Amino acid sequence: MNRHKRLREYCSEPSDLTISLWVGCEPTSPGCSYCAWSNTEARRGEYHKGGRVYRGRPVDWSRLKAFDRSGQLTGNRLIVTVNPFSDFFDIRDQTILDSRPGVPAPEISTYPETQDIARIQFFDVASCMTSVVFTIETKFPQNFENVLTRLLDRIDNDPVVSARDHRTARSVIAACLNGIPPANIWLGASVERDAYLGRIERLRSIPSALHFASFSPLLGHVDSWDPQGIGWVLISGEVIDDSRKSSLLSEFCRPVLTTWFDSILEKCEEPRIPVWFRQLGSIVCFPEYQEYSDHFGDPFYTIGSVIDPKCPLGTRRIVTTDQKARDPRTWPSRYRRREYPSALVVPPIFQDPIRWEVSGPGGEVSS
């Protein structure tokens, strides 16, 4: 839970913890092709086979509640990513399988059996916390109203669900549908190229304490995106989590152009939207007409540039000592940005960057 330690280890995610109510989903767009979950399935020879859903690790709600109580006294806030290996607003309600092949079943037998029950349990507990912020990133913002309406129906009419006390979840869900969202649940839309910018447009119509846009992985230009109503931007190129087969990285990983990054950053400048670069990408290309030195980080970690057939015509690939481009020392200085929204109070101890630009309260970058 120590964000200061996490920054020193060059973790790419802005969250302190992740919780998985379930894992696995159906691929919906090009950004899903080589996500962390699909790579896990591919190693078992079950690549995107049926979009099956499995139980995640049981959520330790008591641990989060304990941090919430201490946070109320100290002013610290914990950022928790919900369902990093699935989509919270996937409209399907599948039975959550006990275990994955070769993975022992969880010891807790009372874990929810369907995705809807898992969502209800989440709203029951998460909405009561004031020092824990939950971020939900989705590719299905259009399903928001349908999912919450279905949850209300199940709480009222499903005998399995109504057998337990879900009054808290019901009141929170009803408030969301009436335009009054919880202050500690932030919603974001994942967009990989211009063709999917409609997700951000739909996101703006959803009530949320903070809307954020995630361009992860960035697979094309998004020059026409509108930053209005967006309070946080997350960016990354594509990195294939491939610890076993190095050939996959060069064969399937898709390139990202620095001009795509620059167009997003330009839109964020005037409204002063905080930006968090998760990772640069395994294949980063820059236009040949631009200055060579502008696209490199620390000279000790930067090898040079080459013409790569995977890069678009007229561009060159940056070559560094970090194959997955997770080490910001290999990044151009303008991309070393890891800023938090002004709605999140970052204690002073977490504002001691090594080679970062880490924001403090108000979204201003600390030096």
Question: pLDDT per position in the chain (367 positions), as tens?
Answer: 334 333 334 467 888 888 888 777 777 888 877 776 665 554 444 434 445 666 666 677 887 888 888 878 877 788 899 988 888 998 765 555 554 444 444 433 333 457 888 899 899 988 888 889 999 999 999 999 999 999 999 899 888 788 788 889 999 999 999 999 999 999 999 999 999 999 999 999 999 999 999 998 899 999 999 999 999 999 998 887 655 444 445 567 888 998 999 999 999 999 999 999 988 888 888 887 666 555 555 665 666 677 777 888 778 887 776 766 677 777 888 888 889 887 664 443 333 333 233 333 333 333 3
Phi-psi domain of 131 (left: phi exceeds 0; alpha: psi -120 through 50; beta: other): alpha
Phi-psi domain of 134 (left: phi exceeds 0; alpha: psi -120 through 50; beta: other): beta
pLDDT at position 261 is 93
Return the structure tokens found at 33. Answer: 């092709």
Report which of 12, 51, 24, 33 is spatially closest to residue 251, judged by C-alpha positions: 33
Report which of 19, 32, 360 is spatially closest to residue 191, judged by C-alpha positions: 32
Report pTM.
0.81
pLDDT at position 196 is 93
pLDDT at position 228 is 92
